[in-house]
């Protein structure tokens, strides 16, 4: 499937978020975001931990509902459609969770076969071919009979990736794909994300705070902080940004607009107990 086959809406923007707000009770997580995810590109949403990056993915997938604003995927307002329509849309989305989220009672082969068994009526031999092709793409054809408990963290994510692309989706979302991985695995996952995006005509959305890795494979980056988009653009333009906050984040500086200290009373007064 190429990029044009995935374009059912004739629009270069696959995911449009407008005026998005979301929170838990009185705690605001997303405070009015406008984000465009272009079709066929790798877009990264980057920001410090706890700024609502994973929340954005759950809002795009329709798992959570925003308190205000809208999310359109391929022209469909995710939160305005019924369950049936939402499920139809989700069949065209893939998601790789941070943990891999493999089904622990199923083998690697059966994990990748799961969406195919659920949504298609392929013969067993055709299904086997498809699963082996997906596993070959992530380099784990030889691991088909292993159980998830026998896999390393990196292998589990690659299996999760193979499962996420099993139905040839139009887009794929990656939740912190590099966190906690060794350099070789990081390199493998980076290569796979770029390769699968380009060869399958996918649109990729990565949520991450690994600056070097995502800068190397992203076409554009959205920097978010405190529920808002701080800046967006190509990785190079963000590196050259004049924003102090962006500079702090891109270069990993310990103090700056994002303070080192959590808000607290004046230090001396606190020690003397007069605060």
Residues at the interface with other proteins (CB under 8 A): 58, 61, 63, 87-88, 90-91, 93-95, 97-99, 101-104, 114-115, 118-119, 160, 167
List phi, psi (to 5°) of 273: 75, 20
Residue 45 or 167: which CB sits closer to other proteins? 167
CB of 101 to other proteins, least distance (A): 4
Q: 99-102 long-range CB contacts below 8 Å, 24 or more apart?
A: 99/156, 100/148, 100/153, 100/156, 100/157, 100/159, 100/160, 101/160, 102/148, 102/151, 102/156, 102/159, 102/160, 102/163
Residue 97 or 245: which CB sits closer to other proteins? 97
Residue 100 or 235: which CB sits closer to other proteins? 100
CB of 4 to other proteins, least distance (A): 24
Residue 115 or 257: which CB sits closer to other proteins? 115
CB of 96 to other proteins, least distance (A): 9
Residue 134 or 232: which CB sits closer to other proteins? 134
What are the residue ranges of helices labelled H in the chain? 3-6, 53-60, 83-90, 108-119, 124-137, 153-164, 183-200, 211-217, 235-239, 244-251, 267-272
CB of 173 to other proteins, least distance (A): 8
CB of 63 to other proteins, least distance (A): 6
CB-CB neighbours of 171 under 10 Å: 23
SS3 258: coil
């Amino acid at each position: 499937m190429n990029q044009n086959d995935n374009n059912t809406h004739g629009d270069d923007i696959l995911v449009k978020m407008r005026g998005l707000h979301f929170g838990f009770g009185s705690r605001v997580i997303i405070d009015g975001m406008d984000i465009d995810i272009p079709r066929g590109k790798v877009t990264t949403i980057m920001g410090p931990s706890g700024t609502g990056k994973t929340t954005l993915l759950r809002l795009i997938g329709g798992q959570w509902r925003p308190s205000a604003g809208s999310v359109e995927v391929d022209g469909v307002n995710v939160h305005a459609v019924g369950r049936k329509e939402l499920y139809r849309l989700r069949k065209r989305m893939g998601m790789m969770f941070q943990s891999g989220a493999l089904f622990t009672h199923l083998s690697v082969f059966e994990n990748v076969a799961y969406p195919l068994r659920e949504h298609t009526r392929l013969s067993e031999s055709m299904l086997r071919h498809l699963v082996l092709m997906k596993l070959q793409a992530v380099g784990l054809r030889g691991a088909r009979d292993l159980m998830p408990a026998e896999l390393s963290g990196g292998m589990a994510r690659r299996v999760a990736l193979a499962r996420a692309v099993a139905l040839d989706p139009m887009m794929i979302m990656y939740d912190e794909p590099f966190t906690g991985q060794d350099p070789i695995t990081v390199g493998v996952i980076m290569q796979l994300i770029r390769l699968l995006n380009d060869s399958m005509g996918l649109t990729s959305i990565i949520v991450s705070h690994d600056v070097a890795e995502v800068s190397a494979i992203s076409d554009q980056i959205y920097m978010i902080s405190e529920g808002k988009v701080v800046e967006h653009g190509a990785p190079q333009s963000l590196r050259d940004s004049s924003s102090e906050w962006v500079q702090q984040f891109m270069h990993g500086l310990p103090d700056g607009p994002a303070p080192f200290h959590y808000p607290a009373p004046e230090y001396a007064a606190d020690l003397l107990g007069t605060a």
